[in-house]
Amino acid sequence: MKRLFRHSQSPNPSTHRGRQRSTRVSTGTRLGLLLLCSVLVVGLVITTNFAVAQSDSSLQEQEDQLIREYTLPTTPQKEPVYKPAPAAPPKKSTSPTRKRTTPAPSQPPPQSQPTRSAPTSTEPEEPAPARRSPAPSSPAREEETAEAEPLPTGEYVLQFNRSPIVGNRFRFRGVYSEARLGFTRPRGWKIQGAKALIRFQHSPALIAKDSNLTVRVNGTSVGSVPLNRQQSEVGSVLFNVPSRLIQDYNELTIVARQSNDEECSDPGDPTLWTEVLPDSELQFEYQPQPIPLNFSRYPYPFFDDLSLDTNRIAYLLPKVNDTWLTAAPRFQAALGRMAEFRPIDTEIINDLEDIEWGQRLVVIGTPAEQPAIADLDLPFSISGNQILDGNQVALPSDVGILMMTTTLDGAVPVLVVTGNGADGVAKAAQFLVQPDSRKFGTGQAVLVDSLKEVDTPSLRNWPGYLPEENSFTLSEIKTKENGDPFEDITVRGSAAPPIPIDFHALPDDQFTRGSSMTLRYSYSPQINPRTSAVEVLLDGTFIGGARLTSEDGATRKRLKVDLPPHLIKPDSQLEVAFRLNPREPGVCGKVTDQQLTGTLHADTSFNLNRQQSVQLPDLGLFQEGYPFAAPQDLSRTAIVVPDSPSNTDLLTLLTVSERLGRLSKADSVNLDAYTTTTLPAEVREGHHLVGIGTREQFPFPEVFDGSGFRLQDAFSRQWNQGSIQALPDNEGMIKEIMSPDNKERVLLALTAQTANGLERVRQVISKDPWFFQLQDDTVLISSNQQDTASYDPDAYTLEFLERAPSTSRIENTGVLSKVSRFIQDNWFFLPAGIFAIALLLYGISQFYLKRLSDQKSH
């Protein structure tokens, strides 16, 4: 083996030469492969560079083509500037509104008069602080001021009774009491001076030297007045408010310190009271600032969420067509979402000369549909009813065009939503109704070439309502103020306010027994365990609580509270209240309680037992937008007007769109509107419908043929087999029925015998005090006032009729739930059913007994 091993290792000349040849061949092969790889790499690089060059050339060609198609016009020397007039509008010019090539100098409107003079009082006024000069405006506001020419100064009076907190009285009780009022500063206002006129009465039992009224603005005191009036006489004092204190959002705080005993005043003494009268007011002296129009500021100035007055929108009406019916309701619905609780006054005008001071004009349609577009001062030129780019080439029909301008005097801003075709107009309007899209708009004009399509949310995805899951935590509920998730909340003191939680059930939720809430809370030491507690209330009803038993405080305690199913509604509110009392009693009304705290933790959990079940029709559910706002982008709702709609019909269309916008929250608006003849069959069958019009032109005459209350020819009306004729019949009617074409869809009828009656329907839909009274399935609306736009709470009378017998239940439940629901709805058949079942069982048992006896006999 050793020799074999050595032999195998011994050199062999022939073998060695073969190996050398093999090595040379292998080396040559490697060199060849390396050379081949190098050639391939070089070729690949050349090919790649050529492809990249071709791609870059192609992209450059596409960009050049894009630029060639969408060449922008020369940038104007000056942006259009909105110059709001402070008070009454200037007189209407008789000259036509024609397009100008150079900016014409605008004449300043005449000096405005005060909205109203300050109320006089026979009482001597208290000395007021010296008036201070207004602080210089911030750099941000100076950048917005495009013109050096100052506008006239105006005055504005804001009375306290406009706040729902004040109402008819504003009372302060106890030894120390304070109340707060919020107000805003409209955009474009430069405050020159501000005053607070406080009119008050107080108890004659107060000691003047120990009782006073203090006013603070944004935490800074602006003055005090002693409560020294005799026999509850009305006092009046005028406080100067430094203009530098006024911000966009402001808080006026009134503090009343009251004493009726030099040694000790009982906080519960009913003679410790002061009332601030509701005609107290804030007086502003301001100078409106000219604002350059730019889409980076949109929706201002067309909608100002800081305005103290109603935002006024005017639509220039073209010949009604599908383009306008698609774009205008969606735009109005988007305004409703932005407005939330703020009012909007909407009008329709037929000519540019009809525009009024204080309005904002919206022009929707192509130049062919809206000839007045050619009369406006716009960056794009128009020829042959076509909008041209910078090369005087017509823009494509599917490109949306948005432009801002003003009337010739600059006092009315104008928003133009247009394009050279219906697709372009719809795309331009859709850009404004999608929050994510309009965020990156800027400049005076915007071309909308493409727009991201927003997915439709699920039917039960309603922001602001309870989550779709049955188990969730408090942090998954959004706050009402800013829509952020709830976090741990701490309150302090013995008079700590309850912590509110919007507990809005989805409109089609039906709750059963077993729903519960696991409250997690903490509290501080030094409390009195005998009188301190935590309470849970649902719509003001106590549903659970526990004593705070530890004098040393506690951290993350748990309390399980049952949620009564019959109390949970779409507008419900939970409250967690900490009743904190100190260990040591107060002396002479002075209680040291600021060391007492209670904390509600965000991991408080909820476990709900619920199912989807709702009975329709029900106008009470319309208060929440159901079922028209399911899904929240309104994509399953269509509004239908007559083929030749009147201005009242179209205003009602815009009002309903605005209301649906206020009742929904989504990333887009896909609401559709049609005339009677253009309504597609698939939409009629698959959508919830809203019909608008007087009885003679109503799009769905079957509403007047079914059961319940009906309007007929010759001003006749029928109900419960009775029939009458009324002359005149100026009542409006809101009626909800199941759609004749689909029993799972709803048809809402907004109608009347006359246009006056339909206008009353529109006013009820637009104003919250009446809209949130709707119930049952039919409402008759009457009024004894000529001014149907009145805000008087007694302006309208609503008469609710009983539910019609033809109802439908929309549900998504199991078999057991359906059987349970059937038994609950038909309980009066239960005794007969039990008797029938007993009789059946008796018959079966007798049959078997007889059969057994026969078998035995055989």
- HSE-CB for 39 with a 13 A CA cutoff: 6
Question: What is the reported pLDDT for 76?
Answer: 57
Is 565 a domain residue? yes
Task: Tell me, yes or no, whether 104 lies in a domain.
Answer: no
Angle at 240 between CA 234 and CA 243, to 5 degrees: 145
How high is the pLDDT of residue 135?
A: 37
Q: Are 215 and 252 in contact (CB under 8 A)?
A: yes
Over the range 727-763, which residues count as b (16 or more CB within 10 Å of their CB) and which as e?
Answer: eebbbbbbbbbbbbeeeebbbbbbbbbbebbbbbbbb
Q: Which residue has the higher pLDDT, 251 or 26?
A: 251
- DSSP string for 393-440: -BPPTT-EEEEEEE-TTSSSEEEEEEESSHHHHHHHHHHHH-HHHHTT
Sign of CA dihedral 415, 326, 372, 313: negative
CATH number at residue 237: 2.60.120.260
- With pLDDT > 70 as the criterion, what percentage of the chain qualifies? 78
SS3 assignment, position 548: coil
pLDDT band per the 50, 70, 90 thresholds, residue 79: confident
Q: Which of 177-186, 359-368, 737-746, 816-825 has the lowest mean pLDDT?
A: 816-825
Last residue of a domain, one of 417, 448, 479: 448
Structural domain contains residue 221: yes
> Which of 228, 138, 236 has the alpha carbon at shortest distance from 187?
138
Q: Which long-range contacts (CB under 8 A, 24 or more apart) does 695-699 make?
A: 695/751, 695/752, 695/753, 697/642, 697/643, 697/644, 698/642, 698/749, 698/751, 699/640, 699/641, 699/642, 699/675
Query: Which of 113-127, 158-172, 558-572 is predicted with the least confidence, judged by mean pLDDT?
Result: 113-127
- Please report whether residue 177 resides in a domain: yes
Same-domain status, 786 and 667:
yes
For the CA atoms of 191, 164, 304, 96, the dihedral, rounded to the nearest 10 degrees, stands at -90
How many domains are there within the chain? 6
For 452-479, write each residue's pLDDT tens digit: 889 999 999 999 999 999 999 999 998 8
For residues 484-495, b (16+ Cβ closer than 10 Å) or e, as one string? eebeebebebbe
Please indicate, yes or no, whether residues 210 and 319 belong to a single structural domain of this protein.
no
776 shares a domain with 636 = yes
- What separation in angstroms does the CA of 331 have from each of 198, 628, 702? 42, 17, 30
Q: Taking the model in full, what pTM does it have?
A: 0.81
Confidence of residue 425 (pLDDT cuts 50, 70, 90): very high
SS3 per residue for 787-837 = CCCCCCCCCEEEEEECCCCCCEEEEECCHHHHHHHHHHHCHHHHHHHHHHH
Which DSSP symbol is given to 354?
G
What confidence tier does 17 reach under pLDDT thresholds 50, 70, 90? very low
Question: Measuring CA to CA, which residue among 155, 252, 250 is closest to residue 196?
Answer: 252
Same domain (yes/no): 157, 255: yes
Q: How confident is the model at residue 495 (pLDDT cuts 50, 70, 90)?
A: confident
Does residue 620 sit within a domain? Answer: no
Q: How far apart are the first and last CA of the chain?
A: 106
* Residue 215 pLDDT class (50, 70, 90 cuts): very high
**What confidence score (pLDDT) does residue 440 get?**
87
At 22-34, the pLDDT tens digits run 444 444 555 555 5
Does position 64 have pLDDT exceeding 80, yes or no? Answer: no
pLDDT at 722: 64
723 and 802, same structural domain?
yes
Tell me what pLDDT residue 141 has. Answer: 43
Please give the average per-residue pLDDT across 823-828, as a whole number: 60
Residue-range definition of the domain harbouring residue 758:
629-642+661-811
H/E element, 649: helix 647-662
pLDDT at residue 705, rounded to an integer = 79
Q: Is the pLDDT of residue 117 over 60?
A: no
Question: In residues, how long is the chain?
Answer: 858
What pLDDT is stored for residue 119 in this prediction?
40
- Better-predicted residue by pLDDT, 54 or 456: 456
Q: For the segment 589-606, what is each residue's pLDDT rounded down to a tens digit?
A: 566 778 899 999 999 999
On whether both 271 and 388 belong to a single domain, the answer is no
Which range is least confidently modeled, 37-41, 95-99, 545-549, 608-612?
95-99
Contacts of 638 (CB under 8 A, 6+ apart): 671, 672, 673, 674, 679, 683, 684, 687, 688, 689, 690
- Which range, of 113-127, 291-305, 397-411, averages the lowest pLDDT? 113-127
Is residue 845 assigned to a domain?
yes
Assess whether pLDDT exceeds 80 at residue 13: no
pLDDT at position 110 over 50: no
Which residues, in sequence order, are bridge partners of residue 81? Answer: 292
When mean pLDDT is compared across 235-239, 368-372, 380-384, 831-835, the lowest value belongs to 831-835
Which band of pLDDT confidence, cut at 50, 70 and 90, is reported for residue 65? very low
Same domain, yes or no: 435 and 377: yes
Average model confidence (pLDDT) for the chain?
82
Q: Please check whether residues 541 and 566 belong to one and the same domain.
A: yes
Nearest to 622 by CA among 774, 458, 759, 763: 774
Residue range 757-766, pLDDT digits in tens: 999 999 999 9
Domain termination residue (choose one: 226, 260, 291): 291
- Per the domain annotation, does 245 fall within a domain? yes
More confident residue, 611 or 87: 611
Share of the chain above pLDDT 90, in %: 56
Reply yes or no on whether the pLDDT at 439 is more than 50: yes
Shared domain check, 282 and 241: yes
Smallest CA-to-CA distance from 754 within 776, 778, 796, 782 is with: 782
Whether 392 is covered by a domain: the verdict is yes
Least confident among 245-254, 739-748, 803-812: 803-812
**Do residues 778 and 801 make contact, with C-beta atoms less than 8 angstroms apart?**
yes
| Cα–Cα dist 4/333, whole Å | 100
pLDDT at position 854, please?
A: 75
Q: Is the pLDDT of residue 138 over 60?
A: no
Q: What is the pLDDT of residue 268?
A: 83
Calpha distance 766→651 (Å, rounded): 10
Instruction: Report the pLDDT value the prediction gives residue 815, as an integer from 0 to 100.
Output: 56
Yes or no: say if 596 and 526 are a contact pair by the CB < 8 Å rule.
yes
When pLDDT is averaged across residues 677-698 and rounded to a whole number, the result is 95
Choose the weakest-confidence range: 35-44, 87-96, 543-552, 797-806. Answer: 87-96
Q: Are residues 151 and 273 in the same domain?
A: yes
Helix axes 755-766, 647-662, angle to 10 degrees: 20
439 and 404, same structural domain?
yes
DSSP notation for 107-153: PPPPPPPPSSPPPP-SSPPPPPPPPPPPPPPPHHHHHH----SPPPP
**Which tens digits make up the pLDDT trace of 149-202?**
667 889 999 999 888 778 777 899 989 899 999 999 999 899 999 999 999 999
Residues 392 and 478 in one domain: no
Q: What confidence score (pLDDT) does residue 580 get? A: 93
Q: Check whether 129 has a pLDDT greater than 90.
A: no
